[in-house]
Amino acid sequence: MANRIPRVPVREQDPKVRATNFEEVCYGYNKEEAMLEASRCLNCRNPRCVTACPVGLQIPRFIAEVAAGNIAGAAAVIAEDSSLPAVCGRVCPQETQCEGSCVLGVKGEPVAIGKLERFVADYSREPAGSSPLETSGCAGPLPSDDGSLPLTMPRVARFPEGTASQASRKKVAVIGSGPAGLACASDLAKWGYDVTIFEALHKAGGVLEYGIPEFRLPKEKVLRHEVDAVRALGVKIETNVIIGRTITIDALMDQEGFEAVFIGTGAGLPKFMNIPGENLCGVFSANEFLTRNNLMKAWREDYLTPIHPGKKVCVVGGGNVAMDAARTALRLGADVHIVYRRTEAELPARREEVHHAIEEGIIFDMLTNPVEVFGDEKGWVKALRCIRMELGEPDASGRRRPVPIPGSEFEIPTETVIMALGTSPNPLISKTTKGLDTNRWGCLVADEAGATTRPGVFAGGDAVTGAATVILAMGAGRTAAKAIDEYLKAK
């Protein structure tokens, strides 16, 4: 039956070719492929995939619509719970969430839920075929209910039982336009609140804009469209406003009439190793390197932003950000090494990203930890001095602790060192807002519903948890939206 069909493979750009460009790696399914893949779903009575999804997407329902060829219907199902399907379909760690819980995965391959979500979003945006390899003859635009063409994701004004009526135009401020803020703002706007997002940078999207590279998440085609869809719900986005500097939360609430505030400011502060030579020219945080290339488009000839990858680059770290920085440097023409102190089994990055990086020719130096950066007489990096590691007893994270092997130091000649060691929340807001507690890692203290220690102020995403994923931030944004709704109704 259906589950005997093997998982439909997804077409990707050739690794040798894509290593030299910033075009998207994965082409996604066409309609035929998507319908075939959708037919594999068993439509379980107790769908574990839904429970495993931080935003509770109605996965079997939308997949059933895809299987029936009703893509507009599938988009409507997704829009009930997510405003960023084209983003999530691309960057979610499905293997540990929805797909990791899929019953089909027990004996074989799980349904490609992420690729299906992406297909629905892409097809809704560009019905005539979003993929350059689109071959399916049936990929014509489908009329929606009112007969018009579904040019955008359907807008769903959903008022769950017991939530505020659309008449209540209470003002809510959302700080940060990343995944947490966009998800929170979308739900609140659907429920009738007057929502303004304040963004510190000049473009909305947060880490989706400055952090995740073009080849994983195209900015103009995909991200802009989803941010515009949030705007279309009535959400206002004010860029170039740094809360804590341009205006404080106190002033927003006392002088501008905002009755509740959601803080979704992420984890933006880069970590360094505090080893000698870290301030040499040619040592960058992954944040700087990626921001220059993504937000500031250094890879494009028509932008003025300078970037300096050099011919050889060492990226220190093993997470998704390290993979992004390494693959970006590669595309800018460098030979790239990833230096990681544990082994491949412990790499925190998604399997797919590691696999893509290896395919593209990134070299992994495992069980290797930097101890010093050496510079030339002009103050530029010339080598990274490292020490070999071995795995010892498990540490607090459950992973085996890397231990240095005495006397094993060696040097990797390199022009550039990119530190991708993780990030922590920015203290700008916690330092300038009365009554807002943080823990010893600088994360905002918030309860499960997102309420902080200050009444009327809620928070979620990386600002509360420390660096995590896009989808967890979206989930936290939605949870906080419910809590804000309850708070404002009781007020």
Partner 1 sequence: MYQILKKEMLTPTICRMEVKAPRLAAAAQPGQFLIVRADEQGERIPLTISDFDAEAGTVTIVTQEVGASSADIIALEPGEGFSDVVGPLGLPSEFMEMGPEQLSSMRYIFIAGGVGTAPVYPQAKWLHAHGIPVDVIIGAKTKDLLIYKEEMAAVCDNLFLCTDDGSEGFHGMVTALLEKLVATDGRQYTQAVAIGPMIMMKFTTLTAKKLGLPITVSLNTLMVDGTGMCGACRVSVGGKTRFACVEGPEFDGYQVDFDEAMRRQGQYKAEEAEANEKHKCKIGRGK
Cα 251–chain centre separation: 30
CB of 182 to partner 1, least distance (A): 19
Q: Which residues are CB-neighbours of 166 under 8 A, at least 6 positions away?
A: 157, 159, 191, 192
DSSP state of 294: T
Residue 288 contacts partner 1 per CB under 8 A: yes
Residue of the chain from 90, 118, 292, 454 that contacts partner 1 (CB under 8 A) = 292
Are 15 and 359 in contact by the 8 Å Cβ rule? The answer is yes
CB of 381 to partner 1, least distance (A): 11
Judged by CB under 8 A, the chain residues 109 through 168 that form the site for partner 1 are none
CA distance 479 to 449: 6
Are 479 and 487 in contact by the 8 Å Cβ rule? The answer is no
Q: Residues 210, 211, 212, 213: is their CA dihedral positive or negative?
A: positive
Residue 372 contacts partner 1 per CB under 8 A: no
Look up residue 227 and give its two tokens: 């941010």
Judged by CB under 8 A, the chain residues 37 through 56 that form the site for partner 1 are none
Going from the C-alpha of 442 to that of each of 305, 460, 475, the distances in angstroms are 31, 14, 21
Give the interface segment with partner 1, choosing from 220-228, 265-273, 347-355, 476-484 (CB under 8 A). Answer: 265-273
Residue 278 contacts partner 1 per CB under 8 A: yes
423-424 and 269-270 as β-strands: parallel, antiparallel, unpaired?
antiparallel
CB of 187 to partner 1, least distance (A): 27
Residue of the chain from 304, 345, 396, 490 that contacts partner 1 (CB under 8 A) = 304
Are 56 and 387 in contact by the 8 Å Cβ rule? The answer is no
412 membership: H or E segment, kind and range:
strand 410-413
Residue 434 contacts partner 1 per CB under 8 A: no
CB of 205 to partner 1, least distance (A): 14
Give the interface segment with partner 1, choosing from 48-56, 301-309, 361-369, 462-470 (CB under 8 A). Answer: 301-309
Residue 378 contacts partner 1 per CB under 8 A: yes
Residue of the chain from 305, 344, 351, 395 that contacts partner 1 (CB under 8 A) = 305
Which C-beta is closer to partner 1: that of 210 or that of 340? Answer: 210
Residue of the chain from 47, 85, 268, 370 that contacts partner 1 (CB under 8 A) = 268
DSSP state of 285: E
Judged by CB under 8 A, the chain residues 414 through 433 that form the site for partner 1 are 426, 428
Residue 242 contacts partner 1 per CB under 8 A: yes
CA Rg value for the chain = 23
Which C-beta is closer to partner 1: that of 358 or that of 421? Answer: 421
3-class SS of residue 221:
helix
381-394 and 368-375 as β-strands: parallel, antiparallel, unpaired?
antiparallel
Could you give the angle at the alpha carbon of 294 between the alpha carbons of 293 and 300, nearest 5°?
60
Q: Which of 81, 84, 3, 70 is nearest to 35 (CA)?
A: 70
Residue 254 contacts partner 1 per CB under 8 A: no
Residue 276 contacts partner 1 per CB under 8 A: no
Are 273 and 279 in contact by the 8 Å Cβ rule? The answer is no
Q: Which string of b and e fits 460-474 if b means at least 16 CB within 10 Å?
A: bbbbbbebbbbbbbb
Residue of the chain from 303, 355, 405, 437 that contacts partner 1 (CB under 8 A) = 303
Residue 259 contacts partner 1 per CB under 8 A: no
Residue 272 contacts partner 1 per CB under 8 A: yes
Residue of the chain from 282, 450, 461, 475 that contacts partner 1 (CB under 8 A) = 282
Judged by CB under 8 A, the chain residues 87 through 106 that form the site for partner 1 are none
Residue 246 contacts partner 1 per CB under 8 A: yes
CB of 220 to partner 1, least distance (A): 12
Residues found near partner 1 in the complex (CB under 8 A): 200-202, 210, 239-242, 245-247, 268-270, 272, 274, 278-279, 281-282, 284-285, 287-288, 291-292, 296-297, 302-308, 378-379, 426, 428
